[in-house]
Amino acid sequence: MKFAKTKEVLNQLVADLSQMSMVIHQTHWYMRGPGFLTLHPMMDDFMDDVNAQLDEISERLITLDGSPFSTLKEMADNTKIPDEVGRWDRTMEERLTTLVKGYRYLADLYQKGIEVSGEEGDDPTQDIFIEFKTATEKRIWMIQAHLGKAPEIDA
């Protein structure tokens, strides 16, 4: 099977981007406190970006004759981004730190995709992985800056 490892990473991203969208939704719905008026609409942008990545990743997987996960059960069974019940008692800093953790995981998965697509000679998919890793690292930097911290991309 051609591009087997690449397709595996693509499908992992389908599950993980779907879960990350829910994590962002939860942040959007449950946030309260200082920064709400700025951060609440910003979560819409974050969700739009993740959903656009999900669509492109899924379509690339189909282009390579793969079959993306397409049920909630498949997403839940295959994601590696933790699930947690929404709570009102979390601070904005805790919520944003959770987002950074998810984005760091995605950046690492995009790096794995860059490596395996390179090994398998799938330049178009590697280009997608590079673009999305770059965008994800920028998100990390921006959230970390809001938290008064360095991006720590190379940590």
C-alpha–C-alpha distance, residues 40 and 115, integer Å? 35
pLDDT at 59: 98
Q: Are 128 and 57 in contact (CB under 8 A)?
A: yes
Domains of the chain (ranges; CATH) run 4-80+91-147 (1.20.1260.10)
Closest CA to 38 of 143, 141, 125, 131: 143
Q: Smallest Cα–Cα separation from 58: which of 16, 25, 11, 93?
A: 11
The answer to whether the pTM exceeds 0.85 is yes
Question: Residue 124's pLDDT is what?
Answer: 98
Low-confidence residues of the chain, pLDDT below 50?
none
Question: How much is the pLDDT for 7?
Answer: 98
Please report how many Cα atoms fall inside a 13 Å half-sphere around the Cα of residue 124, on the Cβ side.
9
